[in-house]
Structure 1
Amino acid sequence: MPFWSTPKTSLNQRLRLGLGTMLVPLLMLAAGAVISFEGALDSFRKHDNVGREALFPLAHVEGLLLDLNVVASPVEPSRSITWSEYQLKSQAIEASLARLLEFSHQDPHKFNSVQEIQRKWHRISQLCQQILDPSVAQSGKGLSEPARVELQEQLKMILQNVQQLNYRLIAFQNDANANHAEAVRKEVRQMIAMICGLALMLAVVFAYGLTRSITVPLQSLEDGVEKLGKGDLSHRISLAADAEFSHLAATFNLMATKLEQSQQDLYRLATLDGLTEVYNRREFNRWLRVEVEKSQRNTDQVSLIMVDIDHFKQLNDTYGHQAGDLALCEVAQLLQREVRPGDIVCRYGGEEFAVILPKTNHDDSVAIADRIRLAIAEEAIILPSLQQIEMTASLGVATFPGDAQTKEHLIKQADQALYGAKTSGRNRVHQAQQNVVENQVVV
């Protein structure tokens, strides 16, 4: 029996063994990379040191030559240079140029301008001696100023030569580094290819073994996820396998339960009014459209009752908004009690409610509306202070297709009937396109 299918080995142990085996080539790769990079860094350091051995004396020469500018064009007496100071600088320049000549003998192609720099330096040394040497300067007398002019030109030219040589040396050094980097990269590529091949073989072997022990329970989980994705939130996974997969199945089932509950909560939030727990305005429009379309197909009638609480603003102003909220909730509950099963109660907006009556003719809808009006008039609101508040409501009734030919026209007709009930004294039911006040009760 293969090692990965023995019952004594759990999935966790198999994964650890597989991952541990996969770490072997990674460690080999890391060790090889460290050795290669260390070798490359040592080689780069050697190249860099060789370059610096030439660049340091060259930079020293450039700095000393810049110091001699005060000899050619003295601006401030305090910055002038003495004969003894010049001799020290001259010795340092001679030593640095001698060092550069040694490099020139080793690689004439790189240091082909060192001899030219040395020739210019001999002339500069002569001019500085004419200017700074007391014995020569006194004997020459009038030669000091022409010597300074020539010294300026010579210093300018030699500094240009020094800078050109500096740029050339840096370019040669960069080329050498690039060539060496390319060679190192080829070596590292070969080593990585070998280690990756080994890692691939090990990965194939252990992946095959692990796959054999994981495929079946994963297929069950996949089927469950697919059903969940298609909207079957009631689906649950029953898996009798390793402890790891059993735990995963239990987690999936818990997630599905929470998603099912969340979907129900979202449906409530999207369809119900948050205060009164009846359908909201958007659901009212949807249900009315559905019922009107059914009426058109089946030649049935559908009626609409608009209900508006009388003097609601006055109730809010007198007793507070809490009392107003209680009144809205009481009316919503009363409407759900008084209507028939299948009738749809909605909050239309503010203190106005709408009741959709499927398959209901004009006379029946008026009777239902009058029953609602009487129930509201008999219902009292009990405040937290135990104070009782009486209220009434005005209602407008319209029926499709007798009073309107479209959903929008039906709403308009019911709303106009409601307005007629309001203007006629409130606490009454008005029918669409009629001015007869029915079932008037004064409370």
Structure 2
Amino acid sequence: MLVPFLLLAGGALVSFEGAIDSFEKQENVGLEELFPLARIEGLMLDISGVVNVEDTASKKVSVAKFKKTAADINYNFKIILTRPSQLPERNESIYRIQEEWNQLEDLGLEIVGSSSQAYKADKTAKISEFQLKLQEILQNVQELNYRLIAFQNTENLRQAQLVRGRVRLLVAIIFLLALTIAVICAYALSRSILVPLYRLQEGVKHLADGNLKYRIKLKTQDEFSRLANTFNAMAGSLEQSQTDLERLATLDGLTEVYNRREFNRWLSVEFERSRRDEHPVSLIMVDLDHFKQLNDTYGHQAGDEALCCVAQLLRKEVRPGDIVSRYGGEEFAIILPKSSVEDSVAVAHRIRREIAIQPIRISSEDRIHLTASLGLATFPSDVQSEEALLRKADQALFQAKKLGRNRVCLATEVSRSSPG
């Protein structure tokens, strides 16, 4: 009598194992596509600073760094194109982005490699052209990244729905068999088979609906318990993969604070919330002083260590609800919701002081001290639009560096002749 149920349990186990393999394969394919693409995006953000180097002394360093970063970008393009994809338009998008990048790479080499006086007069225009084209490429990379993530989620849901269909069929078969068993065995069978299967079905339904936190709890020690454990392991793996994808899309890979794209999103969210609820919101721009000199003296690895230390210091010195982001290069941006001018000024001065007094560990033996320049703007006391808030904070930062660095400058202290 138990043989049919044992066979069905074995079939369910095989079905679940096959579903897990398909989920894991799909997740691996998604990660193999997304990680090189995110790497390309990060390298392109890094290379944007190389073409702005002006002094002749660091020209060789700029050329070498540009070529190395460009080689890394080309290598990641090669990695993506050698891997198959289930998204039909992916390769077409990659080839288009790669072609745009190849053209931009030639322009970048021309900018960083030339030092003639005749070329310098045209350098500003070429740098602007380079940055504009680079921004277009980054937008294309981000759009492809969003499409790949959406495609990955769709495939995960499709796989979960297939598993749910198999479980429903299995439940139906067992239910029909259970009707033929004597009444005296009905209660035992319902407790030992139907209840665990119902819970398995509920688990798959939750998974298909996108609830990756759901777990099945069974007290039995049989095949169904193994199925529940397998399901829970699969759900945990999917949840971790989703967390990794979200983390990859929102955090800066080096400093572990929000990246530039996530900063732009939070700035829009907090500005609209501030306008709706009629409370202030402040923006602090932080730029490390003489950071290029640090890289030239101790190396780029030491510069990366310094950026990580400063990022952790910023997170420590702000409130839990404040938003710390890496704006680009050695520049950070901090959004302070519901923070008045006076409160924001106090935070900015505390950050400047802590950066100046805290020793930065760049190796097991070496400690250095850095300083930072900060610019602050507040809505609605200083500006009336989101764009103006960002522009005023940036102008205040420029004013702080112009006045000697290692200081805080407010938007109200910016020269009257400045736009906005």
Is 1:9 aligned to residue 9 of structure 2?
no
Verify the 8 A CA contact 2:375 2:393 in the aligned structure 1: yes
Aligned to 1:269: 248
Is 1:345 aligned to residue 339 of structure 2?
no
The 1-side partners of 2:243 and 2:179 are apart by 38
Q: Percent identity?
A: 60
Is 1:244 aligned to residue 238 of structure 2?
no
Corresponding residue SS for 2:296: helix
The 2-side partners of 1:426 and 1:230 are apart by 53
Alignment of 1:355-370 (within 5 A): 355-370=334-349
Q: CA deviation at 1:240?
A: 5.7
What are the superposed Cα offsets for residues 38-81 of structure 1, whole Å, 9 maximum, x if unpaired? xxxxxxxxxxxxxxxxxxxxxxxxxxxxxxxxxxxxxxxxxxxx
Q: CA deviation at 1:273?
A: 1.3
Is 1:209 aligned to residue 177 of structure 2?
yes
| Corresponding pairs, count | 243
Corresponding residue SS for 1:395: strand
What are the superposed Cα offsets for residues 316-374 of structure 1, whole Å, 9 maximum, x if unpaired? 01110011011101111111121123211111111000111111111221121111111
Q: CA deviation at 1:312?
A: 0.7
User: Could you tell me which of 263, 266, 275 is aligned with 1:287?
Assistant: 266
Aligned to 1:334: 313
What are the superposed Cα offsets for residues 180-205 of structure 1, whole Å, 9 maximum, x if unpaired? xxxxxxxxxxxxxxxxxxxxxxxxx9
Is 1:253 aligned to residue 232 of structure 2?
yes
Verify the 8 A CA contact 1:307 1:418 in the aligned structure 2: yes
Verify the 8 A CA contact 1:11 1:242 in the aligned structure 2: no
The 1-side partners of 2:277 and 2:355 are apart by 34
Verify the 8 A CA contact 2:9 2:224 in the aligned structure 1: no
One-letter code aligned to 2:298 = Y
Q: CA deviation at 1:433?
A: 4.2
One-letter code aligned to 1:356 = I
Is 1:422 aligned to residue 415 of structure 2?
no
Verify the 8 A CA contact 1:380 1:389 in the aligned structure 2: yes
The 1-side partners of 2:367 and 2:236 are apart by 44
Aligned to 1:314: 293
Aligned to 2:362: 383
The 1-side partners of 2:369 and 2:404 are apart by 17
The 1-side partners of 2:410 and 2:211 are apart by 46
Q: TM-score, normalised by structure 1?
A: 0.50
Corresponding residue SS for 1:342: coil
Verify the 8 A CA contact 1:11 1:244 in the aligned structure 2: no
Once the two structures are overlaid, the 10-residue window that deviates more, 252-261 or 216-225, is 216-225
The 1-side partners of 2:312 and 2:285 are apart by 16
Verify the 8 A CA contact 1:380 1:388 in the aligned structure 2: yes
Structure 1 residues 407 and 435, CA gap change in structure 2 (3 angstroms): closer
Aligned to 2:303: 324
Q: CA deviation at 1:383?
A: 3.0
Corresponding residue SS for 1:231: coil
One-letter code aligned to 2:384 = Q
The 2-side partners of 1:263 and 1:257 are apart by 10
Aligned to 1:167: none
Unaligned ranges ≥5, structure 1: 17-204, 437-443
Q: Which has the higher contact order (CA 8 A, sep 6+)?
A: 2
The 2-side partners of 1:288 and 1:379 are apart by 29
One-letter code aligned to 1:295 = S
Verify the 8 A CA contact 2:254 2:304 in the aligned structure 1: yes
Q: TM-score, normalised by structure 2?
A: 0.53
Aligned to 2:201: 222
Verify the 8 A CA contact 1:307 1:354 in the aligned structure 2: yes
The 2-side partners of 1:14 and 1:287 are apart by 51
Larger Rg computed on CA atoms: 1
Is 1:372 aligned to residue 351 of structure 2?
yes
The 2-side partners of 1:325 and 1:283 are apart by 21
Is 1:354 aligned to residue 345 of structure 2?
no
Aligned to 1:396: 375
One-letter code aligned to 1:313 = K
Aligned to 1:46: none
Q: CA deviation at 1:224?
A: 0.9
Structure 1 residues 14 and 269, CA gap change in structure 2 (3 angstroms): closer
Aligned to 2:279: 300
Unaligned ranges ≥5, structure 2: 11-172, 181-188, 416-420
